[in-house]
Chain A
Amino acid sequence: MKITVKLIGPFVQLFGFSEKILDVPEGTTADDLIGLVSIDKSRPKIVTRNGRAVVPGEALAEGDRVVISPIYSGG
C-alpha cells in the first residue's frame, strides 16, 4: 500500500527528504514506518496520521499521510 511520509523541521535536513511516497506491506504500523525512514526511535517526536496523533501499534491504511515532527513548543 502507498503511504505518504512528510517530515517536519530539521528532520528534513537530518534525514534527507521532505516528503515522499513509500510502498509498504499491509499491516505496517506508524512505528514500522519510523524505522523505514531511519529516524532514531529514541528521538522525541510526534507522529500524526491524517492530522491526528497516532497511538502505539496503530496500523496504517492505503493513502494515509503520516507526518513525523520533532516536539515543537511554540515560538
Chain B
Amino acid sequence: MNGWTGQFLRVNLTEKTFKKESFSEDFARKWIGGRGFAVKILYDELAPGIDPLGPDNKFIVALGPIAGIPAPNTGKAVVAGKSPSTGGYGDGNLGTRVAEQLRKAGYDALIVEGRASGPTMLYIDDDKVEFLPADEVWGKGTYETNDWIYAKYGKSVGVLNIGQAGENMVRYAVVRSLEGRAGGRTGMGAVMGSKLLKAVVVKGTKPIPQADPAGMKKVGYDDLREVNRIDKKTGWSIQSTNGVLAWCNEVAALPVRNFRKTHHPDAWKVDGERLNNARIATYGCPNCTMRCGITIHDDEGRESELDYENVGLLGPNLEIFDLAQLGSLNYLCDDYGIDTMSGGCVLSFYADAIDHGAVTGDYGFNDPEGSKRLLGEIARRDTEIGRVLAEGSMRAARKFGHDSIDYAMQVKGLEVAAYNCKFIPGMALAFGVSPIGAHHKESWVITFELKQSVRESYGPEKAQKVVELQRIRGGLFEYIVACRFPWIENGWSLENYPKYFKLVSGLDWTLDDFWTVSDRVYSMIKLFWLREYPQADRKMDYPPAVWFDPANADTEGPIAGRHLEYDKYDGLLQLYYDIRGYDRRGIPTKATLERLGTAEEGRAAEKFAKLT
C-alpha cells in the first residue's frame, strides 16, 4: 500500500506484549493518518466514561502519509488519547525524529495500552520491541532524560519523553522530544505518566512505501530549498512566532494580567526584536528549513527556547517583562514537561483569584520567583496549592468558588492560547469551537477579522473563515501530519500537499477531497465528546465569561469600552453550526454524518444521546 506502511504497532504495558496489526487501504483513505487515525481508533476502542489517567486510556502516536519523508516540514507526529484536562478527545503535535523512525520501523501508528508495573522505557527497533526499566530517570526532568537516552542510543533515534509533571499526572503535562519540542497540551504527558511510560525510543531502517520515491525525493528536497529561499526573502524567522507579540500589543489582543488587559507599555521588552537580539541559537524540527526555535540564556544561564505562546503567557500575562526571567519560567516548564500555555494561564488565574479575594496565597503578578516556586510545586504535586493548580484552572476555580470560573481562562478545561479575545469575536469563536478546548492551532482568524472584515462584525464571513481554517489547520495538517508554518507564514501553496500525497500514495486527490476528510475527522471528534458529555449543549462552545463582562472592558486604547456580547456571540456560533451541519447543541446531524461517511459511528453514539 503506497503511502502507508499499512501497520499499527499495538503495545500492552501491563502484559508486556506487542503485536502488529494491518489496516486496510479503505481505512487509510478514509482517515489518512495522524489525528484521523487517532480519533477513529480512540472512538472505536475506548469505552465512554473511562478515567483518562487510568489503565483503560490509550496513548497513541500517529503519523501521516508524508510524515518523516523529506519535504517541507514533515518531521512531526501527533500524540493523542482521552484528555485528562478536558475529558474529551485530546491530541497535539510535536516535531520529533519519531515521525521518520517509526515509519521506517514499519508503522503508521503506535497504540500503547495498559499500565506498566514500574517506570518503563519502550524501545522499538524495527520488528523488535523491548520494555526497559526507566527507574534511573524517573523523577528527572526532560533534559536529563533526553541526555540519558542519547547516551545509550545516539542522537539519531526518535525520542518521546516526559518530565516530573507527566509522572505526577499534572493534567496539562506535555510530551517532549528533541531538545525543545513539546506537544499534547491536552495532557498527553500525563497519560504517559499514568502508564509509568517515561519514554518511547524508536529506531527504524526500512524504506517507507511510496508510489514514486525518486520523484518524491527530488520534489521534497527542491521544495525544502525553495521554502528556505522564501523564508530568507520574507524574513519571517528573524523574529519567528514572537514577531506577532508587538502586533498583538498594538491592536489590543495581548494577554496581560490574566487577560484583564489587552496591551501594556512594557510589552516591547519581550517582543520579537528583543528576542532576536538575545538569540544564542536557533533550532527546528526535522525536515524544516524555516526554523522557528530561538533560544536565549535565561536568568540562570540556561538555554531556553522561546516562541510567542510561551512568551505571551509566561510573560505579559503574568506581568513579567524580563526576557531572562520568563525564559527561566519557560525552561522550567520544558524541563518539568508542563505545557507553557496552560502553565501560564493557571498561574495568572491563581494570581487573579488572590486579587479578587477568591483565595488567599503568597503569590501575585510580576512575581518571577513565586512563579518558579509554584511551577515546581505543580510538577511535583508536593504542596496543597501545587496539587490544586496541577488540576488546571477549571478544576481549581471549582475549588476556589466565588465565581472565579468566570476568569479561569479556559474552554472545556483547556486553557486559552495567547490571544486576548476581549473584543475579537471570530477568534473567540475559534477558541470556543476548537475540538480539543481553547487552542489556536485549529483556526487563527484575527488578521482576517481586522483586515478582510471589521472587528465589530459577528457576521457569516467570520464563521465561514473559522470553518475554512479548521479544514486546513485542524484537518489537513493534523492528519497528513506536517507543520502549517510554510503555508501560513510564508505563503507556501496548499496545492503542494495533494502533490506530495500523489507522489507517496499514487492517489490523485484535490484539496476538496481533503476538506471532506477534514469534516469527517471533526465529526468523529464531536461524536467522541458527545459520548463523554451526552447532556452537554452549545454552552460548552462559549469562551470565558470575563470576555463578556462590561466591567472588564478596557478603559483606554483601541477597544476602550468594548467587550463580547452574548446574544451576538450565540448568533455567530449558530452560523458556524449551520455551515458545519450541526444541530443547535453543536452535534452533527444524522444527514451530516451520512454525508461524511460516519453514520455508523453516529449510531454507536445514539446509545448515549439522541441525534437529530
Contact = CB atoms under 8 A, between A and B. Distances in A.
B285 to A, nearest CB: 14
B308 A75 contact: yes
A29 interface: no
Contacts of B273: 12, 18
A73 B444 contact: yes
B247 A72 contact: yes
Contact of B557 (A51, A53, A72): A51
B243 A9 contact: yes
B239 to A, nearest CB: 5
A51 B250 contact: yes
A67 interface: yes
Interface residues of B, number: 38
A35 interface: no
Given A9-B243, A46-B450, A75 B309 contact: yes
Nearest to A55: B454
Interface in B236-272: 236, 238-239, 241-244, 246-247, 250-252, 272
A18 B274 CA distance: 11
A11 B238 CA distance: 10
A72 B243 contact: yes
A42 interface: no
Interface string A52-75: 110000000000010101111111
Interface centre among A11, A12, A48 (most CB of B within 10 A): A12
Contacts of B419: 74
Interface in B438-459: 440-441, 444, 446-447, 450-451, 454-455
Nearest to B341: A75
B488 interface: yes
Query: Which one of A8, A13, A48, A73 has the greatest number of beta carbons of chain B within 10 Å?
Result: A73
A10 B234 contact: yes
A75 B447 contact: no
A36 interface: no
Nearest to B276: A13
B489 interface: yes
A16 interface: no
B269 to A, nearest CB: 13
Nearest to B427: A74
B235 A75 contact: no
A52 B243 CA distance: 19
Contacts of B450: 46, 48, 52-53
A50 to B, nearest CB: 6
B215 interface: no
B571 interface: no
Contact of A8 (B241, B250, B454, B489): B250
Residue of A6, A69, A72 with most partner-chain B CB within 10 A? A72
B241 A75 contact: yes
B611 interface: no
Interface residues of A, number: 25
B250 A10 contact: no
B447 A9 contact: no
A53 B558 contact: no
Contact of B244 (A6, A9, A50, A53): A9
A52 B449 CA distance: 11
A25 B555 CA distance: 32
A5 B466 CA distance: 31
Contacts of A52: 251, 450, 455, 558
Contacts of A11: 235
B388 interface: no
A14 B272 CA distance: 14
A58 to B, nearest CB: 13
A9 B247 CA distance: 8
A13 B236 CA distance: 10
B307 interface: yes
B236 to A, nearest CB: 6
A73 B251 contact: no
Contacts of A65: 250
A73 B455 CA distance: 16
A75 B251 contact: no
Contacts of A53: 450-451, 454-455
B447 A8 contact: no
Contacts of A51: 250-252, 557-559
Given A46-B451, A74-B444, A9 B251 contact: no
A73 B234 CA distance: 14
Nearest to A47: B451
Most B Cβ at <10 Å: residue of A13, A18, A67, A75: A75
B478 to A, nearest CB: 15
Nearest to B292: A75
A32 to B, nearest CB: 19
Interface in A28-54: 44, 46, 48, 50-53
A12 B243 CA distance: 10
A73 B241 CA distance: 9
A60 B252 CA distance: 20
Interface string B314-357: 00000000000000000000000000000000000000000000
B452 to A, nearest CB: 9
A55 to B, nearest CB: 9
A44 B489 CA distance: 11
Nearest to B454: A53
Nearest to B312: A75
A11 B272 CA distance: 11
Contacts of B235: 9-11, 13-14
B49 interface: no
A71 B451 CA distance: 10
A46 B445 CA distance: 13
Given A18-B273, A74-B488, A75-B308, 17 more contacts: A6-B250, A8-B244, A8-B272, A9-B272, A10-B236, A10-B243, A11-B235, A12-B239, A52-B251, A52-B450, A67-B250, A70-B236, A72-B247, A74-B440, A74-B446, A75-B241, A75-B244
**Nearest 5 CB-CB pairs, A to B?**
A51-B558, A10-B235, A9-B243, A74-B444, A75-B241
10 contacts: A10-B239, A14-B235, A18-B273, A48-B251, A52-B455, A53-B450, A72-B244, A73-B447, A74-B417, A74-B441
